[in-house]
Amino acid sequence: MAGKMNMESRTGRDNQRFGTKGERLVAGVVPLSADKTRVLLIQSTRRGGWVLPKGGWELDEETAAEAACREAWEEAGVICTVEADLGHIADTRPTSALTQNAPKASYQFFECIVQEEKPEWPEMGKRKRQWVSYAEAVKALDPRPELLEALKLSSIKRS
């Protein structure tokens, strides 16, 4: 992201991209430390608990990777570099768990190396961030199979 970092979080779904089956296209990051021993988790605003930064891929963003890096900035306050495309991960939630605010989604995750952690970021009032080991992340992401799968696809050190 060149230039000044935007301190406003994007809101609403007006520019949201959707797939061929009407699913919401969501881009996310597995933000790793430079030595790949830790992953940065953020607090979920809806359920509490810890999650990976992710959000809707919008129409004005050329690539899902661009959207993923924007989400990392807005939600976690980090500047990161995409190292690998971890591919598409299906939304495994049962239909009963889907709502108008949480429709069926198709996730695309990217492994990123965090270059810089800023002291202020758009969602700092809503979320805390925390560096954790692989084992701690597995435990924290257990309720979210799509996030756990992204973590497991990454090259984080598992010791």
| Close Cβ partners of 96 (under 8 Å, ≥ 6 residues apart) | none
pLDDT confidence of 2, banded at 50, 70, 90? very low
Q: What total number of domains does the chain contain?
A: 1
In a domain, 9, yes or no: no
Q: What is the CATH number of the domain that holds 60?
A: 3.90.79.10
In a domain, 135, yes or no: yes
In a domain, 4, yes or no: no
Q: What is the pLDDT of residues 8-27, one digit of tens each?
A: 766 665 788 888 888 889 99
Q: What is the pLDDT of residues 89-134, one digit of tens each?
A: 988 877 776 666 666 888 999 999 999 999 999 999 999 999 999 9
Nearest alpha-carbon partner for 123 in 81, 80, 72, 82: 72
In a domain, 6, yes or no: no
Q: Which domain holds residue 41?
A: 24-153
Q: What is the pTM of this model?
A: 0.87
In a domain, 64, yes or no: yes
Q: What is the dihedral of CA 100, 13, 52, 108, to 10 degrees?
A: 100
In a domain, 75, yes or no: yes
Kindly state the helix (H) or strand (E) to which residue 85 belongs, with its residue range: strand 78-90
Q: Which amino acid makes up residue 61?
A: E
When the pLDDT of each residue in the chain is averaged and rounded to a whole number, the result is: 89
d(CA 71, CA 112): 12
Rg (CA), the chain: 15
d(CA 56, CA 67): 7
In a domain, 159, yes or no: no
In a domain, 111, yes or no: yes
